[in-house]
Amino acid sequence: MEQKPAWLGSGAILNQLMEIARISALAEMASGIAHELNQPLGAIATFAQAGERMLNRGDPMIPQATDVFRQINQQALGAGEGIRRIRRLFDHDRSNREACAMAEVIDELHPVLEMLAQKVAGKLQIDAPADLPRVLIDRLKIQHVLFALTQNGFDAAVEGDQTAPPWVRIEVRSDRYSVETSVIDSGSGIHDDVEEQLFRPFFTTKVRGTGLGLASSRAIVEAHEGTIGFDETPGGGSRFWFRLPVGSG
């Protein structure tokens, strides 16, 4: 009897990853809304309060104007609180974290990552020593980051050198303070004109991309007090990496 690929039994993990992607996208959108609106709303509140004080000084002022300013102030503060409520709904700090070895996290996700390689007739390489320090993480959310970076890696590799099969290599290294996970691809690298926009919500170079994979990955990593970035590799291609602090979340 024909043996089914291992990744076919990983539907539960894949469904969970998609749910994390959806929630992370909503979190990033809520963060963007807060960033864009909190500043002008704060200015409205400040000016409204100043206007109220001015109208109440010296000569009698028009009561209706004072009431209008007061309403502006109340509405502005109410809108700001509404945005804060939205952000709390998708707060990344509300997670179940546990001490994990990145090798175990990657191994659990391995069948799903192999699926990505098989879809493009590519090769997945993993170098993740088991004896590295543990990190305190929400396992599924960090797996979402790994999935997104690996998927992007194979997408880039397919568009690279067509004379060899596309490949992605995952490497894990550590020092005294952090554990660094790298996702290296065989693509043609990142164009200079898009480097500064890579982690911005809704920015994408893909025809059918959402522009939320890297943005949500950044939000997750930073919620773990980590950092994320990328480098060009000497032989072409890119290395996306994220660092997580040892023994803390």
In CATH, the number for domain 10-89 is 1.10.287.130
> Burial, 188: exposed, middle or buried (Cβ in 10 Å; 0-12, 13-18, 19+)?
middle
The predicted structure's pLDDT at residue 7 = 41
Residue spans of the domains in the chain: they are: 10-89, 98-245
Q: Nearest-CA neighbor of 133 among 224, 230, 243? A: 243
CATH code of domain 98-245: 3.30.565.10
State the pLDDT at residue 249: 44
- The pLDDT profile of the chain, 249 residues, written as one tens digit per residue, is 445 444 444 556 656 666 666 666 556 556 556 665 777 777 778 778 877 777 776 775 667 677 777 777 777 776 776 666 555 545 555 567 899 999 999 998 888 888 889 889 999 999 999 999 999 999 888 988 999 899 889 988 887 666 788 999 999 999 999 999 999 998 876 665 555 656 665 545 554 444 457 888 888 898 899 999 988 887 778 899 999 999 854
Question: What gap in Å lies between CA 116 and CA 226, rounded to an integer?
Answer: 26
